[in-house]
Structure 1
């Protein structure tokens, strides 16, 4: 068996498998002996001639694994027959951190699956992919999972067979197992290590690393208050932050910082692990700037760590708000080595009014802004993740009144909290 799979195989039969269909995860498990269980939901609509496969990306090099998984979908959509249906899937050990392995579930409706199996065999020869096929029993109900052995075997024999059985949904959404220092970074060093490993494959990563401050500078406490303004696009952040700058005689900073602008478009196309590390390090650059400006004057910051974390958590976890990490989870804690602001204000706005303002702007939207517009569940997850972040927590302000009224309300908060 290939070395890359050895780490997962000893606990293979203890793993749960999740397949995303129509925005909701469907779960199944495997067992070595047949105990007469019903058919898992993911297989109930599979037709008699359909063939099913799973591909799980396994590698100890998490940067390579992230890059390969990110590019695998396009490769499969390009090379597979059009009759094939692809769904995101994962495999995990319940309640075991960092046990999540991502991949794809494939339903092949071709009368002959030979071309599909040739492609899967090629993938397993050189790439970090673990392939399973799923076969229906003669009674039409019982399904078995066949774990492929190394693809250099021309007969494509399998190493072991398991019976497929339904599984209850886990206590927590499986994506939460891998959020810490993968989707959200909680220290300078963890984010730094990811970009450092990218140096050989992403030249832009080296340029970003050259801009980074020391960890001491990123948490230096300034003499003057630091006020962060958060909120979704078109809630009035720019108007408010500029008004606060003028009213308080403050410095105005933005996160991600301007110095990262030349590379943002590139990193927005990278896998989440690399993209999130890039934006996490942007917060530390902003923190250094806050420390310098905050020695002379109050500082207003347009977005900071709350945005980075809230969007990442809401993207990693699918489905309704109840799938988010529980309130009080360590995933909402502020990084211990990142400067904490004196006050964080989040502007909220009715969704329809926010859409109207976006239309009036006529600006291009980010991928995440498109998701906010078309996916109500994603918007609700982002808003709830904002609310749950602590250290410091956000103070909510209604942004629907005229801009001068919003300004006065925020000034009252600042004078009460920061004594300005």
Structure 2
């Protein structure tokens, strides 16, 4: 195991592991000694002692390399694992320690496949930034974890043995401690740094960086009010924003801005840290457009910071919405160097009505929109994240009635808040 991997795995016996299996989140810990009668954590209590289990954690200190390899590792494993091998997501973290989260994959198979799997994992461990563990069930029902380690002065593998034990559910999802400037970017400079770091592997990043405004331009407050319309797809944003433009004589802008369209497909294929940085910078370009056009007319914006942050937060955290960072957490704060709108309106419709509208539109869905349709928990996390973001907070409007009624309701809000 490389030295930089070893340094990232410090305090190993203090780590807690989060296994996402069959849609459920299960936490377990490890200890160096067998202290006698200890309850075996689920799902290990349901495994058979003949089962062979393994975990791989991606441990590169280079955040860009780590993010890209995490996605590539999944593809590699799914191509080469034998049939019948169960595959799940696992992560490891130090409780309440920021930036200690390490992500990876968990495998479960029969003893007949163990030789093939261990050859694959051994090759990965020698050449890639991964930490590998195997898990074995004993006659007494206890399970042990064996951390693979390759001694520098000897041939062959050495292992460190730990006992698998139950762990308390942490007060917040471990991803919440790893989210700032990883999944959600709160400054122009932090998002820029990510694109600069991946410039040698993504040539398009340089083109995006050349388009960016200065920090001052992204913060300049316009003379006229700025109204942002937020909401999931098929909640009526396009119809409403165009009606507001015509009624108020306003300028309509969209985020991400049109100038980023040539590169969206490219960045949508990248790991979350790169993709999120790209869309965060799109908000700063839109902010520059707002400051320029807002000197002449009111501004209506179809999506802005709330969408970027809400989807990122909901994607980073798994499980029910109670796993989101608590209300008031810094992850819901508005970036200090980004122009703030005068009013943010969040359109909502019944989930079934939204699906019906999507079917009638017949348009291609983004991956996140497909996830909204198939994963109720993800949709609930997105909606809850929208409501928790402050600076300013969203004003919710039911978009189920006719387009004219929704328009009149939003116009009342704008006239009351923005005095238009």
TM-score range, shorter-chain basis?
over 0.9
Matches within 5 A, 1:250-265: 250-265=250-265
SS in 2 for 1:20: strand
Measured in 2, the distance between the counterparts of 1:73 and 1:404 equals 48
Measured in 2, the distance between the counterparts of 1:22 and 1:93 equals 24
SS in 1 for 2:318: coil
What is residue 391 of structure 1 aligned with on the other side? 391
Structure 1 residue 378, shift from structure 2 partner: 1.0
SS in 2 for 1:60: coil
SS in 2 for 1:89: strand
Report if aligned partners of 2:231, 2:348 keep a CA contact under 8 Å in 1.
yes
What is residue 316 of structure 2 aligned with on the other side? 316
Q: Give CA-to-partner distance per residue, 1:75-113, whole Å, 9 cap, x none.
A: 100011112111100000111111110001111225141
What is residue 55 of structure 1 aligned with on the other side? 56
Q: Give CA-to-partner distance per residue, 1:103-124, whole Å, 9 cap, x none.
A: 0111122514111111111111
What is residue 113 of structure 1 aligned with on the other side? 114
SS in 2 for 1:146: strand
Measured in 1, the distance between the counterparts of 2:57 and 2:151 equals 15
What is residue 328 of structure 2 aligned with on the other side? 328
SS in 1 for 2:10: helix
Unpaired runs of at least 5, structure 2: none
Measured in 1, the distance between the counterparts of 2:110 and 2:286 equals 51
Matches within 5 A, 1:78-227: 78-139=79-140, 141-150=141-150, 154-158=155-159, 160-227=160-227
Measured in 1, the distance between the counterparts of 2:370 and 2:165 equals 37
Report if aligned partners of 1:225, 1:342 keep a CA contact under 8 Å in 2.
yes
Structure 1 residue 5, shift from structure 2 partner: 2.1
Structure 1 residue 332, shift from structure 2 partner: 0.4
Report if aligned partners of 1:122, 1:151 keep a CA contact under 8 Å in 2.
no
Measured in 2, the distance between the counterparts of 1:181 and 1:23 equals 27
Measured in 1, the distance between the counterparts of 2:176 and 2:397 equals 29
Measured in 2, the distance between the counterparts of 1:76 and 1:272 equals 20
TM-score of the pair, normalised by structure 2: 0.97
Q: Which runs of 4+ in 1 moved over 3 A?
A: 151-154
Structure 1 residue 150, shift from structure 2 partner: 2.5
Q: Give CA-to-partner distance per residue, 1:13-34, whole Å, 9 cap, x none.
A: 1110010012221111011111
Count of residues paired in the alignment: 418
What is residue 45 of structure 2 aligned with on the other side? 44
Report if aligned partners of 2:150, 2:156 keep a CA contact under 8 Å in 1.
no
What is residue 371 of structure 1 aligned with on the other side? 371
SS in 2 for 1:39: coil
Measured in 1, the distance between the counterparts of 2:256 and 2:50 equals 51
TM-score of the pair, normalised by structure 1: 0.97
Structure 1 residue 154, shift from structure 2 partner: 4.9
Q: Give CA-to-partner distance per residue, 1:164-191, whole Å, 9 cap, x none.
A: 1111211111111111111111111111
Report if aligned partners of 2:51, 2:136 keep a CA contact under 8 Å in 1.
no
SS in 2 for 1:41: coil
Measured in 2, the distance between the counterparts of 1:9 and 1:402 equals 57
Q: Which moved more, 1:38-47 or 1:229-238?
A: 38-47
Report if aligned partners of 1:51, 1:134 keep a CA contact under 8 Å in 2.
yes
Report if aligned partners of 2:93, 2:100 keep a CA contact under 8 Å in 1.
yes
Report if aligned partners of 2:8, 2:61 keep a CA contact under 8 Å in 1.
no
Measured in 1, the distance between the counterparts of 2:399 and 2:111 equals 54
Measured in 2, the distance between the counterparts of 1:7 and 1:42 equals 29
Q: Which moved more, 1:148-157 or 1:72-81?
A: 148-157
Structure 1 residue 321, shift from structure 2 partner: 1.2
Matches within 5 A, 1:241-390: 241-390=241-390
SS in 2 for 1:134: strand
Measured in 1, the distance between the counterparts of 2:320 and 2:372 equals 14
